[in-house]
Structure formats: C-alpha cells, structure tokens
A and B are shown apart, each in its own frame.
Chain A
Amino acid sequence: DAGVIQSPRHEVTEMGQEVTLRCKPISGHNSLFWYRQTMMRGLELLIYFNNNVPIDDSGMPEDRFSAKMPNASFSTLKIQPSEPRDSAVYFCASMVVNTGELFFGEGSRLTVL
C-alpha cells in the first residue's frame, strides 16, 4: 500500500502567486483531512471531507484558501494569492470514516517569499 501521497513535497513561490497542493488518499478511505503545521500554531485542521463532500471548513483561514475533492482518489488545496504568512507544512490525511485512525502523508512544505 502506497499510503497517502502528497505533491509537491517542497514548494517555494513568491507572494501573490497561486499555489496548488495535491493529495491522493489511501484507496478505500472515505474521509480526507487537510492540516497545516507551523511552529507558532502547531497542527491546525483546515478542512475535512466525508465521501468527497466538505463537512467542516471552519479552519480555512480566509477566502484565499479553497479545497476540492472531485473524486474519491484526489483532493487539492489551493491558495490564491499566496502570502508569506502561509508558509507552513501542509499535511493531507485519510481514514475510513468513524475509525479515528488517520493516516498522514509526508507533507508539502510551502515557503512564500
């Protein structure tokens, strides 16, 4: 099993540019989560989906952030326009709904200059 796959692993961009992070959950998992981690704020939940439907996006910082899950095997997190304060490691995780056993990807480290 390949696990949760995230891309890119590292992204360096300039302020104002659009950033798209991608995630492929584990096959058969029907819940998908996007988290953001910084030294100051720790691990924060941004949004999660059940069966491709967004359930709670209250953690999304502002309108510059958007997430989609067009099918069970793919999700994107988009930041447009990006700002330096968006610099963080973004984790995608998936699980079988109701189990509480999250499987995390290796993360996408974003640096916005």
Chain B
Amino acid sequence: DAKTTQPTSMDCAEGRAANLPCNHSTISGNEYVYWYRQIHSQGPQYIIHGLKNNETNEMASLIITEDRKSSTLILPHATLRDTAVYYCIVRVADSGYSTLTFGKGTMLLVSP
C-alpha cells in the first residue's frame, strides 16, 4: 500500500472549518484513500473514503486532487469533540488481502 504524509499537528477554532491535508504521491490506480480518527483512549473510528471523486457524508467531506496525489479531509464546523488524531490511509480496494496500515496521523486540537 502507498505511503502517506500528514502534518504532525494542527489547530482549529471551534465552529470553523478544519482542513486536514494528506500527501499520497505514490498512490496506485486501484488504491482508495481512507480517513480514520482516534479520540483519546478510544479505538479508531472510520470517517470516510474515496477513489477519485469528492465524497461527503454526515461527518466530513473528502476532496481528492485530480492527479490523486493528495487529499484534504474537511470538517465543516469543528467542535471540541473533534479533537483527535486523524489518520489518512491508502488501501487497495476490493481486496481481502489488503490491510489498513496506520501512520502517525495529525493531532487536531479544536479550541474554544
């Protein structure tokens, strides 16, 4: 699976949009981009995933560049409960033999 690069930490004011970048310049054509987050002392939680089109769900939006070498996770109105470590992962889709490898992630701190 392709490697990803994320900033170590980011800050965001409550109520503002949080934009978390991820670089995956070596991504292959059959690899999806997944985002998870881990709130302190809990197990990671799935947020969203996509291949090449932008995706949106009740938690977040995922914007993938046209060349697919980078993506941005957007939390439109961050709350204090969004403070967590956010992981960007690329994974071969439709493969029972492809795992999810978690890197260091980005520590997002949402402040009042």
Q: What is the minimal beta-carbon distance from B108 to any residue of chain A, in angstroms?
A: 16
> Beyond A100-B91, A107-B43, is A45–B97 a contact (Cβ under 8 Å)?
no
Classify the secondary structure of B's interface with A. Answer: loop
Q: Which residues of B are found within 8 Å of A42, using beta-carbon distances?
A: 102-104
Q: Mark B87-112, 1 if CB is under 8 A from A, else 0.
A: 00001011111111111100000000
Number of interface residues of B (CB under 8 A): 23
Interface Cβ pair total, 8 Å cutoff: 53
Q: Mark B44-62, 1 if CB is under 8 A from A, else 0.
A: 1110010000000000000
Q: Which residues of B are found within 8 Å of A106, using beta-carbon distances?
A: 42-43
> Beyond A43-B44, A91-B43, is A102–B100 a contact (Cβ under 8 Å)?
yes
In the complex formed, the residue of A with least CB distance to B48 is A101
Inter-subunit contact B100/A100 (CB<8 Å)? yes
Inter-subunit contact A93/B96 (CB<8 Å)? no
How many chain A residues sit at the interface, stated as a range, is: 20 to 34
The complex places the Cα of A8 from the Cα of B51 at a distance, in Å, of: 38
Inter-subunit contact B36/A102 (CB<8 Å)? yes
Apart from A45-B99, A100-B93, A101-B49, list 6 A-B contacts with CB within 8 A: A42-B103, A45-B101, A50-B96, A97-B96, A100-B32, A105-B43
Instruction: Report A's interface with B, CB cutoff 8 A.
Output: 4, 31, 33, 35, 42-43, 45, 48, 50, 55-56, 91, 93, 97-98, 100-107
8 closest A-B pairs by beta carbon, nearest first, are A104-B43, A43-B102, A97-B96, A101-B46, A50-B96, A91-B43, A98-B94, A104-B44
